[in-house]
Amino acid sequence: MLKQRLITAVLLAALFLAALFWLPNLAWALFLLVFILVGGWEWCGLAGFGRRESAIFMPLLAGCGLLMLPEVAWSAASRNVMVLALLAASTLFWLALAPYWLLQRLRVTQPFIMGVLGVVVLLSAWVALVDLRHLGPLAVLGVMATVWLADSAAYFSGKCFGKHKLAPEISPGKTWEGVLGALLAVSVIGVGICLIWSLSLWFMPGVLLLVVMSVIGDLFESWIKRVAGKKDSGTLLPGHGGMLDRIDALLPTLPLTLFALYLPLYLSLIRS
């Protein structure tokens, strides 16, 4: 099992890095859209969609994605409006609605709600990966490395010191000690990077927020699976489960990062 997980992880990382550094922008966006559509198909299963709902959801997800391609959008201004609206909806969901959803243990099965939510959650992460890459591959890797570091630190801290369960009804393996270990590890590395590269320490609260949101993303996907009565979101990735199982912690963190970067533009559009 461990060998299978490692092989799958190495192959995925190699494929992702090759695409990130070598593909042109349009090819990069379409490459990612394929993975998002795989996640969308898994979402159909977790949401309990039948054939009719899936036949509506999947073309809608693909169509909205294609319309947000810079090469397809009517104009840069229209794309900015669509992207900012999507990021605002995603930010509102992850900062306010998702924590409430988890605290109340909501069991939402209405196809319309789950369909809209799936489009917002999946497409906002895709848009973030597409647009962050315009700032450079390191911008993408910076966010993802933060999440990976937090996840690894939480795993080892939980294994070594975990005694107090974080949310046993949702994900029995997660502990408060694991979360604290993640926050501590990211804080140490983040402060070290700030000192070495002479960066402002004021960006650290935002980085720590990403750690918290990565935990919420993980818990939210775990709860959706539990409501659906499934252990994994799919079987595509040997040893890892499905696509959503691999990107759950990135679903909130990527859009939140891009929204923070685009916030000045968003405010200027409101004023105008």
pLDDT given at position 146: 93
- Please say whether the beta carbons of 204 and 191 come within 8 A: yes
- In this structure, which amino acid lies at residue 10? V
Element (H, E) at 264: helix 250-271
Q: What is the pTM of this model?
A: 0.93
pLDDT for res 48: 92
Q: Where are the beta strands (DSSP E) in the chain?
A: 165-167, 171-175
- Model pLDDT for residues 132-165, shown as the tens digit of each residue: 999 899 999 999 999 999 998 998 998 889 899 9
The pLDDT value given to residue 188: 94
111-140 tens-digit pLDDT: 999 999 999 999 999 999 999 999 899 999
Tally of CB atoms within 10 A around 44: 22
Percentage above 70 pLDDT, the chain: 94
Q: What is the DSSP letter of 203?
A: G
- pLDDT tens sequence across 30-78: 999 999 999 999 999 999 999 999 999 999 999 999 999 988 877 777 8
Looking at every residue in the chain, the average pLDDT score rounds to: 90
CA distances from 145 to 13, 29, 137 (A): 12, 20, 12
Residue 1 in this model has a pLDDT that exceeds 60: no
Residue 257: which pLDDT band, with cuts at 50, 70 and 90? very high
Cα separation, 187 vs 216, whole angstroms: 18
Sign of CA dihedral 135, 138, 140, 142: negative
* Rg of the chain over all Cα atoms, to the nearest angstrom: 18
